[in-house]
Amino acid sequence: MTHEHDHDCGCGIDDGRRRFLGGCGAAIAFAAAGTTVGSVAAETSGDIETLFADLPTNWDRWGDDDELGALNLLGSEEMFAGMRAATKRGAKRIERFSLQLSMTGEVINPDPDQPEVVFPNGAVDWPSTDTGDPAFPPRTPARRTNTTPTGGSPLAGGMAFVDDKFVTSAFLQGTTHLDALGHAWYGDEIYNGYPASSTEETKTFETTLLGTDGRDALPDNGDPEELVPVSETQGLGKAAVSAPAESGLFGRAVLLDVGRHLDVADENDRLPLGYGITIDDLQATAEAQGTDIRERDLLVIRTGAVERTRDPGAEWAPLNEPGIVFSEELVEWVAELDIPYIGADNLAVEKVVQVIDGDTYVIPLHGAFLRNLGVYLNEILWLEDLAAACAEDGIYEFLLTGAPLNVERASGAPINPVAVKATER
């Protein structure tokens, strides 16, 4: 199978693809709500089960009850390889970089005439040069406020404190986050053959709390939501984010700065909107950098996409970002190298809409990696500072460590990966 390398592809998603990925609710809901981003005239939709029929899986590799997936590959030797990469220039030449994007609560709105509207109705003129927090529609940025009185809350003895909480919906995948293996699937099974129904298991709580109703950023009826009692919730009974949260992420990682090493990039080393990154692009970048990709390495891919959301002079479109694209060769390469994790500075790691052999697919690599191989995807990374340091000293390997928030039964959770890198500076 080959990918149709169409860099001018739009990114609307029609409602006829509901069966494609059971976990692709955000994209489908965004389309069903009548909001479009660009246009993808999707007259045909491919069969993903046929597409993946002859490709490798890791089901039962670590037992039929495994929920951790490819992070099982990160043991003592892999952790040591990460530490060696971080310390290879000695004790006084080590730098650290947080790869988490800050949360500002600012909405990126494509319609400057309707700044108060989250998702303007009708035709929307993407891309946008507005700045704010990137979020996969219909997720929205989270906002917090103080819960203590003005001046803080005084305590006996003279101490005072201030406290805060989120006062809008805080989507667990609305900022830098790690996808759980049960986040996306096709057919009737998620990772390791667990039934898709396990993603909607109900938990009942002894104590009722007040919360807001509604599944997405906007209520179904368009009216403000009222507080409602919450005594039960639905969530992942298997392959939830608690598994990687409890194990943590720790190993040798390599940055593939595709934006800096492909001649299609702009003057800021950012790939153009809609660009599909092929396995040839990844391997050519590694060769240009002099980077050795080893078995069980963690892959971090820079496109420059998220940087656009903080630059008022750059255009950005949420469903038309550059990203990696499916090919049999790519999936087999990741499987053969036992890559347990792929992170990128965009919303989906992969290009959201892809045309493969003339058929249209939405986030197919989520099926190949999360569901079939148990390979984790880390989205919305901030890579500008790390990439600049790597380009300056030529060292593209580092220790990568972090753990997502341990939110029981969640399909993903915020994570702050930290790169610890040797340097010549």
pLDDT digits (tens, 9 = 90+) for 258-311: 999 999 999 999 999 999 999 999 999 999 999 999 999 999 999 999 999 999
Q: Which of 108-112, 166-170, 209-213 has the lowest mean pLDDT?
A: 209-213
- Tell me the two tokens of residue 205: 């709580």
Around Cβ 43, how many Cβ atoms within 10 Å?
9
Q: What is the pLDDT of residue 344?
A: 98
List, as own/partner pairs, every contact residues 202-208 make where C-beta atoms lie below 8 angstroms and the sequence separation is at least 24, other chains included: 202/232, 202/233, 202/234, 203/232, 203/233, 203/234, 203/235, 203/409, 204/231, 204/232, 205/230, 205/231, 205/232, 205/233
Q: What is the pLDDT of residue 120?
A: 63
Rounded-to-integer distance, Cα 381 and Cα 167, Å: 24
The angle at the Cα of 223, spanning 138 to 165, to the nearest 5 degrees, equals: 65
DSSP notation for 82-101: HHHHHHTT-TTSEEEEE-BP
User: How confident is the model over 212-234, as a mean pLDDT?
Assistant: 73
Query: In this structure, what are the phi and psi dihedrals at residue 29, rounded to the nearest 5 degrees?
Result: -65, -40
Cα dihedral sign, 267-270-271-274? negative
Q: Find out whether 249 and 341 touch, Cβ atoms under 8 Å.
A: yes
Please tell me the CATH code under which domain 1-8+45-134+173-199+238-425 is placed.
3.50.30.50
Residue 362 C-alpha from the chain's centroid: 15
Q: What is the pTM of this model?
A: 0.90
Q: Which amino acid belongs to residue 260? A: R
